[in-house]
Amino acid sequence: MAATQTTGNAGPLEGLRVIEVGDLAEWAGKLLADAGADVVRVEPRDGARSRHAGPYVGDRPDTNHSLRFAAANTSKRSVTLDLGTDEGASLWADLVCRAELVLDGAGPDGLENIGLGASRFRGERAELLWCSITPFGLNGPWRDWAANDLVQLALGGPMMSTGYDDHSLPPIRADGEHSIAMSNEYAVTAILAALWLRDESDEASGQLIDVSIHESVGATTEGSFPNWEYLGQRVLRQTGRHAAAQRNARWQYKCTDGDYILLMGGGVPRDGKIFAGLLEWMDEHDAAGDLHDPKYAQVLYTDPTMNVEVRNHVATTIGEFVQQLTAEEAYRRGQSLHLPWGLVRRPEQNLADPHWADREFFWEGELSGHPEPVRYPGAPYKFLKSPVRLRRRPPLLGEHNHEVYVGELGRSADELPQLAASGVI
């Protein structure tokens, strides 16, 4: 089945008009924009926060050369606007007027305090969708607390499940602004569901959608939840594997080439046939130890209690074996035996894997400040008929001021320099 053929260029959300403001909604904006929505990011005059974060092209700070901004703002347009000015407020009202959805990442009071928030515009247009993404939600005792990605992943729970066997080392936050990703992914599900409802119903049923980053992160810690709710057990973080109520054998080993291999579940095969194939491979390296003893397969595949000691012994023996291999060899040969083992890659190493080239995963496009085209990570889904794709490179700051303010909002071209000079745009 070839999933990559498409019958046109229109994305699944073609025609959806969105404005995005603030710093907590940029991943949602990107997901919508890559899918064909017209997303206009409304930035302060000195640019969104991610423009000031880096890393930068050539490590030279420049609001148009931030890679953090580039990674989260493909396919959008950018306008600048100082919402604190009278003229800025008026332009904002015009922008909201032409949008079906406002993506509000400006904090619980960012827009309300200046009279430009959901309460005003939803009153004017009942069909408007307004999605607010805030650290803790729009109500509750922690509503106004200060937070960033580290604090959110601490409070939400992922960190206490993530780290090392050695608990003198701290819980770990994975790098990559995942609290923004999780909350923005949930936000998009809520937005699309609300859009569906709006168009299914006879009334003009807009919504205020109140997404809490804390809840989004907190909904995601898997086994720790039923362990506590059903069994009253807490889980312990462990190196490179799932947190568990009881310690278990390692899953991750350093191989001869210095790279790591991940052995899912400690590497123990899921059935006897795969176990036999693995033993054959281990025999080539004289590394099967005592695993040919039928008692192991017997316990693993016929005893439903899955004796923990046996599992740990088998896993440890497999772990010793893979340390004699390169990680690449363990990965390829393991997968050929239907073992769900993974090479622990640095992210950029995927650029060279031909499997992703076969799937046309990466998107080639321009990047401001860099002379050559670059490859952006593509979409997490391949639509047969409505491609999700790179629609335009990440915008320069205010690149679309003229296009939007003059071309779409009908301001006169002569007015723009004046608005810029007076600090409005």
Partner 1 sequence: MGVLEEADRSGDARPLPLAGVRVCDFTWIVAGPQATRILADLGADVVKVENESYLDSMRLGLQNPDRPPGYNGSGFHGNFSRNKRGITANLHHPSGREAAERLIAQSDIVIENFSAGAFDRLGFGWERLQELNPDAIYISLSGFGQTGRDNSYITWGPTAAAVSGATQMSGLPDEDPAGWGYSYLDHTAGYYGAIAALMALVHRRRTGEAQYVDMAQIETGMVLTGVPVLDYQVNGREYTRIGNRSEYPAIAPHNIYRCAGDAFEDDRWIAIVAESEGQWAALCEVLEAPELASDERFASNEARKQHEDELDAAITALTRPRDPRALMYTLQARGVAAGLCQRTDDKMEHDEQLAARGFYPTAPHDELGEHRYEGFPAQFSDARWRMVRGAPLLGGDNMEVLSELGYSPEEIGQMMAELAV
Distances (CA, A) of 172 to 29, 167, 199, 253, 328: 28, 11, 43, 19, 27
Interface mask toward partner 1 for 318-337; x: CB under 8 A: -----------------x--
Q: Considering the complex, state which of residue 1 and residue 421 has its C-beta at the smaller distance from partner 1.
A: 1
Cα atoms in the Cβ-side hemisphere of radius 13 Å centred on 199: 7
Of residues 24, 211, 255, 404, which one binds partner 1 by CB under 8 A?
A: 211
If one asks whether residue 284 binds partner 1 (CB under 8 A), the answer comes out as no
Of residues 377, 392, 416, 420, which one binds partner 1 by CB under 8 A?
A: 377
DSSP one-letter string for 92-132: HHHHHHT-SEEEEES-SSTTGGGT-SHHHHHHH-TT-EEEE
Closest approach, Cβ 315 to partner 1, in A, equals: 14
Of residues 9, 84, 120, 197, which one binds partner 1 by CB under 8 A?
A: 197
Burial tier of 270 (Cβ tally within 10 Å: 0-12, 13-18, 19+): middle
If one asks whether residue 145 binds partner 1 (CB under 8 A), the answer comes out as yes
Of residues 88, 105, 157, 398, which one binds partner 1 by CB under 8 A?
A: 157
Closest approach, Cβ 72 to partner 1, in A, equals: 7
Q: Considering the complex, state which of residue 73 and residue 401 has its C-beta at the smaller distance from partner 1.
A: 73
> Cis peptide before 170, with omega less than 30 degrees from 0?
no
Closest approach, Cβ 280 to partner 1, in A, equals: 19
Closest approach, Cβ 211 to partner 1, in A, equals: 4
List the one residue out of 144, 140, 201, 147 whose CA is nearest residue 179.
Answer: 147
Q: Considering the complex, state which of residue 351 and residue 413 has its C-beta at the smaller distance from partner 1.
A: 351
Of residues 125, 345, 392, 402, which one binds partner 1 by CB under 8 A?
A: 345
Cβ-defined contacts of 245-252 (< 8 Å, 24+)? 246/308, 247/165, 248/308, 248/311, 248/312, 248/315, 249/311, 249/312, 249/315, 249/316, 249/319, 250/315, 250/316, 250/319, 251/315, 252/344
If one asks whether residue 308 binds partner 1 (CB under 8 A), the answer comes out as no
If one asks whether residue 206 binds partner 1 (CB under 8 A), the answer comes out as yes
**Ranges within 253-282 binding partner 1 (CB under 8 A):** 254, 260-262, 264-265
Size of the site for partner 1 (CB under 8 A): 157
**Ranges within 71-130 binding partner 1 (CB under 8 A):** 71-72, 122
If one asks whether residue 309 binds partner 1 (CB under 8 A), the answer comes out as no
Residues written for the chain: 425
If one asks whether residue 170 binds partner 1 (CB under 8 A), the answer comes out as yes
Place of tokens 């720790």: 224
| Cα 121 from Cα 123, distance rounded (Å) | 5
